[in-house]
Structure 1
Amino acid sequence: MKKYLYLCVGLFGMATVNAQEKSTASLTVKTDAEWKSQLTPEEYRVLRDKGTEKAFSGKYVDTMDKGTYVCAACSNPLFDSASKFKSDAGWPTFDRPIKNAVTFVADDSSGAVLTEVVCSKCEGHLGQVTTDTAAGTSGSRYTVSSVALKFIPAK
Structure 2
Amino acid sequence: MNRRKFLLATVALAASPVLTVRARDDAMSMQNHRIEKLELSDAQWRQRLTPAQFRILREEGTEPAYSSPLNNEKREGTYVCAGCELPLFTAAMKYDSGTGWPSFFKTLPNAVGTKLDFGLFLPRTEYHCARCGGHQGHVFNDGPEPTGKRYCNNGLALKFIPDQA
What TM-score do you get using the length of structure 2 for normalisation? Answer: 0.82
Percent sequence identity is 36
Name the SS of the counterpart of 1:36 in structure 2.
helix
Query: More relative contact order in 1 or in 2 (CA 8 Å, sep 6+)?
Result: 1
Structure 1 pair 150–121 and aligned structure 2 pair: CA distance change class (3 A): same
Matched residue type, 1:152: I
Residue in structure 2 matched with residue 140 of structure 1 by the alignment: 149
> Residue in 2 aligned with 1:19?
25
Aligned to 1:40: 50
Q: Deviation of residue 48 (structure 1)? A: 0.3
Equivalent residue number for residue 113 of structure 2: 103
- Who is 1:80 aligned against? 90
The answer on whether the counterparts of 1:68 and 1:81 sit within 8 Å (CA) in structure 2 is yes
Q: Distance in 2 between matches of 1:47 and 1:133?
A: 23
SS of 2:156's equivalent? Answer: helix
Residue 152 of structure 1 pairs with residue 158 of structure 2: no
Query: Whose Rg is larger?
Result: 2
Q: In 1, Cα distance between the equivalents of 2:54 and 2:23?
A: 24
What is the number of equivalent residue pairs in this alignment?
148
Moved over 6 A (4+): none
The CA deviation at 1:61 is 1.0
1:132: Cα distance to partner? 2.0
1:120 maps onto 2:130 in alignment: yes
1:11-61 deviation line (CA, Å, top 9, x unaligned): 497354553332511000100110011100000000000000000001111
Pairing 1:63–2:73 present: yes
SS of equivalent to 1:113: strand
Alpha carbons of structure 1 residues 60 and 17: separation in structure 2 relative to 1, 3 Å: farther
1:17–1:106: 8 Å Cα contact kept in structure 2?
no
Compared CA separation, residues 74 and 13, structure 1 to 2 (3 A): farther
Structure 1 pair 151–106 and aligned structure 2 pair: CA distance change class (3 A): same
Task: Please give the secondary structure, in 2, of the residue aligned with 1:147.
Answer: helix
